[in-house]
Structure 1
Amino acid sequence: MSSHLIRLQRAFARAKIDLRFDNGVYRVRDEAAEATILLPASLALEERAVQQLLAFASVKTPTGDAAVCAACATPDFHPGAIAPVGSIVATDADVVIPAAIGTDINCGMRLYSTGLSLAQLGPRQEALVARLKAVLLENERNVPLPTRAFKALFDAGPLAFIDAIEPQGLWAGVDRDRLADEVSRCIGLDSLTADSHHAPDAFVGTREVYRDPCLGTPGSGNHFVELQVVDEVMDRHAAYAAGLKSGDVVVMIHSGSRDLGFHVGVRWMDRARDAWPTGVRHPESKLYALAGPLATEYLQAMGVAARYAWANRVVLGEMVRAELQRVFGADDARLVVDVPHNVVLTEQGRNIHRKGATPAHDGNLALIPGSMGDHSYVALGRGHADWLWSCSHGAGRRMRRQQARAIVGAFHGGDWHCVTLREERRIEEAPEAYKPIGPVIDAQREAGLIEPVARLRPWVTFKA
């Protein structure tokens, strides 16, 4: 046993947590729960994140029964506001924990192949960056939608939403048949249920058209739109099927449900607390489960925000397509995959809560970004049941944003290209604030969670 592990065990013992490490897997246990964490020894295991994970693993229903069947974490594991990022929690199909996914519901990744190489795009880089900055960051976008389209999205689903779009603004140049075809490449989207009565009035009220100020925006924090280059193909057949070719430029979008997700998430975390039975002691962790009809209703409310998050990524993608057409006279961009990582999906007869973790079922594509200065990966899931059919959603932070700002001088002079209107975003999201992506990918490949398909290197990153 290494001296590092001994010190780690002693530190966790002081917090009354039993910790074991074997072959890249930590097994942690306290008096109430246990969990497993896939993390190479070279990456730090943070006590606060472990405490958060064990707190979720020990959540009980209002009747006092255990709510959680299993809890685990992927190598991007680090503390979150409530739930640790990189965690997966399974409950019975009639139980949900709203705080497990928080307020950025169905935050996820969307990847397009542009059909253009870096050699083709490079000479027009300045013009393309200027146009993308205008639409992505400077509010030069025109995305009118009839409220009936939002209602169709929430009540009937993505295909009904596409049918209800009217050819105005951005939508005048959108290929709706292509959009409809791409719905099948969105992981988990078809399993969501929703009901428009959970949406804010602005989306489904009496006005004919609603210009939602958040629709088509990436959001702050670690969200981004990034132009990347296919740097290496690792699985030739899978890459060919996905339309990925070495030297080509791709577009990765990371965004979620914005204000609508915040509305739903806060409302239902409050409702879960308020539904706690009178006279029953509230949990010290302040984590509440919903069971039965309330759980079903939460999933419908969550579905409203989740479908909106999909639509938000669609709009971001269509704006990029429009600018590629404007600058290069061609729009051959093809959706590779859209994957969620903050959502509850019913799988294998359970509700799988993923907080900063991505579905990785056997044969399905997953997206695992690094940082603005590190590679991202396209991978095939291998459907590992021990890890709840999941993989990481990125490299994971190793430094809080406050820490990054405190050592701002160390981050000057990087060769990464970040386009932003806020200098603090460039510092908070600097590559040094994130774990290296290599060990994160290697650990998951060796453990049988994924098989890498292609490696992507960042070219230009847009951050709000």
Structure 2
Amino acid sequence: MARHFKHHDKAAIIQLLTAIKERPADFLQDEVLGKIAAVFADEPQMRTFESYELLATTGQLKIYGGREIEQAARQQMEVAMALPVTVRGALMPDAHMGYGLPVGGVLATDNAVIPYAVGVDIGCRMALTLFDEGESFLKRYSYQLNVAMKEYTHFGMEGGLGFYQEHEVLDRPEFRDTALLKALHGKAVRQLGSSGSGNHFVEFGLLTLEADNSLQLPPKQYLALLSHSGSRGLGAAIAEHYTKIATDTCKLPRSAKQLAWLDMNSDAGQEYWLSMNLAGDYARACHQQIHRHLAKATGLKSLATIENHHNFAWEETLTDTRKVIIHRKGATPAHAGELGIIPGSMTTPAYLVRGKGVEQALYSASHGAGRAMSRSKARQKVTMSALKKMTADAGVTLIGGSVEENPLAYKDIEQVMHAQHELVTVEGQFMPAIVRMNKE
């Protein structure tokens, strides 16, 4: 306990230990707590698992923008299509190799949820707020916006904002439903309103709305705030915990090991589903806090907010009335009329889009431009001084930032958008002006 729960307060640790003593069977499968639970268990527990072979023929797979998708991502998706629980799949034009399912992969399964097809950063999402100001405000108050970004955002794997926050998500009863969620509540409190590392960002910029827009706002330029981040340590711990349970109980060939699933009728499947949805709501709360703090600090009035998850799973019904679990690993929901945001890079546009509801794409679109370089290759190819020149040439102020996220590390967002023109309609273009990301 001292090693693994050193950041938890005494009351939470005692509560957790009491629960282990009273219900040891609930904790026997836990990698850490199982050793303590075994002391109180009446008899040894045998871990059961099912062993599966991949199907010789794959299910239905639709690929968009295939010319720009690396072979490794295609191969990962083909393995996913051969799972016995797979119903249908789609690969978005921003796709690249990931863990388990490729980033940009969409997979529909029959009564099964795959933790690694959701991803480690559960509920990672985009949020865009339009304000009742325009370009003149951005130019006049750029210094104040810059200062507010530094004071009211936090980036990195650990830590959080330096002031107390309140949000109803922290009072959710689900935090008392499992031992894991109980143990993670303290971290969720500390990290509320913060962002992670990697490609997570917060940006002020200008959004130009099209005449035919779903927001029913005048077609002009608006000051806007765009953020991208997920469920922080809460989602990562949930993903790690239930991925281990899945891989321990669902034995697959080595090539598919990371795609182990949880049956939705099992206790573990229901626990993961509950935890995943809580993590998604927590990610939404983090964005709400970011936007609320920055709007208050700068005196801006919000006109509208658009937001959407990726790295999530939904229960949906196909046109043949079949119910499936749709996993979107780095893919944006794009049901008919549904609004979403597809970003490019720190110097290229993001797009406000309206979904067209294409079933072949499993009602999805890309979640960004997609990586053209691995992180290691980006570090080798671009220096920090070169990155600063790129942003300066584009008229972008960069706070923090990493060469791993330099604009050249990403695909051409215009090509990606062209490859999915049948999936979404563009309603607006956002150009970043002040960008904050995690430091190198």
- What band does the TM-score fall into relative to the shorter chain? 0.7 to 0.9
Preserved CA contact (<8 Å) 2:197 2:437: yes
Per-residue CA deviation, residues 153-205 of structure 1 (Å, 9 max, x unaligned), is 747xxxxxxxxxxxxxxxxxxxxxxxxxxxxxxxxxxxxxx95655143527x
Q: Matched residues in 2 for 1:196 and 1:116: separation?
A: 45
Q: Tell me by how many angstroms 1:245 deviates.
A: 4.3
Question: What residue number does 2:62 align with?
Answer: 36
Equivalent residues of 1:230, 1:456 under 8 A apart: yes
Q: Which residue of 2 aligns with 1:413?
A: 389
2:287 paired with 1:302? no
**How many residue pairs get matched?**
366
SS of 1:378's equivalent in the other structure is strand
Distance, in Å, in 2 between the alignment partners of 1:107 and 1:452 is 22
Quick one: distance in 2 between partners of 1:223 and 1:435?
Answer: 17
The gaps in structure 1 that reach 5 residues or longer are 1-29, 60-65, 156-193, 205-209, 326-330
Aligned partner of 1:432 in structure 2 is 408
For residues 313-365 of structure 1, give each alpha carbon's deviation from its aligned partner in whole angstroms, at most 9, with x where no partner exists.
1111111112222xxxxx31134211001100111121100000011010110
What residue identity is the alignment partner of 2:399? T
Partner of 2:297: 323
CA distance, structure 1, for counterparts of residue 360 and residue 252 of structure 2: 33
Q: Distance in 1 between matches of 2:174 and 2:184?
A: 13
CA distance in 1, matches of 2:188, 2:114: 32
Per-residue CA deviation, residues 269-323 of structure 1 (Å, 9 max, x unaligned), is 00111223xxx66554212111122323321121121111111111111111122
For the aligned residue pairs, the C-alpha RMSD in angstroms reads 2.4
Alignment match, 2:79: 55
Shift of 1:406: 0.4
Aligned residue for 1:257? 231
Cα contact 2:161–2:194 (8 A) shared by 1: no
8 Å contact kept, 1:419–1:461:
yes
Change in 2 beyond 3 A, CA 1:274/1:346: same
Indicate yes or no: 2:369 matched with 1:395.
yes
Cα pair 2:246 2:260 within 8 Å, conserved:
yes
1:144 Cα deviation from its structure 2 partner: 3.1
Code of the aligned partner of 2:183: D
Q: TM-score, normalised by structure 1?
A: 0.74
Q: Distance in 2 between matches of 1:374 and 1:245?
A: 21
2:213 is equivalent to residue 238 of structure 1: yes
C-alpha distance in 1, partners of 2:218/2:280?
27
Q: Which amino acid aligns with 2:171?
A: K
Equivalent position of 1:347 in the other structure: 316
Whichever residue aligns with residue 260 of structure 2, its letter is: Y
Once the two structures are superposed, the pairs formed by residues 29-428 of structure 1 within 5 Å of their partners are 31-33=56-58, 35-39=61-65, 41=67, 43=68, 45-59=69-83, 66-92=84-110, 94-137=111-154, 141-145=162-166, 150-152=170-172, 154=174, 195=177, 198-201=180-183, 203=185, 212-231=189-208, 233-234=209-210, 236-238=211-213, 240-241=215-216, 243=217, 245-276=219-250, 283-286=254-257, 287-291=259-263, 292-293=265-266, 294-325=268-299, 331-348=300-317, 349-409=323-383, 411=387, 413-414=389-390, 415-416=393-394, 417-421=396-400, 425-428=401-404
After TM superposition, the structure 1 = structure 2 runs for residues 437-452 of structure 1, keeping only pairs within 5 Å, are 437-445=413-421, 448-452=422-426
| Farther-moved stretch of structure 1 (401-410 vs 364-373) | 401-410
Checking the alignment, whether the CA contact within 8 Å between 1:69 and 1:91 is kept in structure 2 is yes
Aligned residue type for 1:217: S
Is residue 349–residue 429 contact of structure 2 (8 Å, CA) maintained in 1?
yes
The 1:244/1:407 distance shift into structure 2, 3 A limit, reads farther
CA offset at residue 121 of structure 1?
A: 2.6
Distance 1:412 1:113 in 2: 27
Query: Percent of pairs identical after alignment?
Result: 30
Matched AA of 2:316 = E
Q: CA deviation at 1:81?
A: 2.8
Distance in structure 2 (CA, Å) of the matches to 1:300 and 1:270: 17
Displacement of 1:141: 4.2
Q: Distance in 2 between matches of 1:114 and 1:257?
A: 25
Amino acid at match of 1:439: Q
SS at 1:110 equivalent: strand
How far apart, in 1, do the equivalents of 2:113 and 2:190 lie? 30
Is the 1:101–1:353 Cα contact (8 Å) retained in structure 2?
A: yes
Question: Residue 372 of structure 2 aligns to a residue in which SS?
Answer: coil
Which residue identity lines up with residue 458 of structure 1 in the other structure? P
Structure 2: gaps (5+ residues): 1-54, 318-322
CA distance in 2, matches of 1:244, 1:226: 22
1:102 and 1:86 map into 2 onto residues whose CA distance is 11
CA contact (8 A) 2:58 2:78 kept: yes
Q: Equivalent residue for 1:19?
A: none
Counterpart position of 1:167: none
C-alpha deviation, 1:151, in angstroms: 3.3
Change (3 A) 1:281 1:273: closer
Compute the displacement of 1:33 (Å).
Answer: 2.2
Cα gap change, 1:244 to 1:357, in 2 (>3 Å): farther
CA 1:216–1:50 in structure 2 vs 1: closer, same or farther (change >3 Å)?
A: same
Deviations 1:20-72 (A, max 9, x none): xxxxxxxxxx954252210163x3x211111111122222xxxxxx1110111
Instruction: Decide whether aligned partners of structure 1 residues 361 and 195 sit closer, same or farther in structure 2, where only a CA change above 3 A counts.
Output: farther
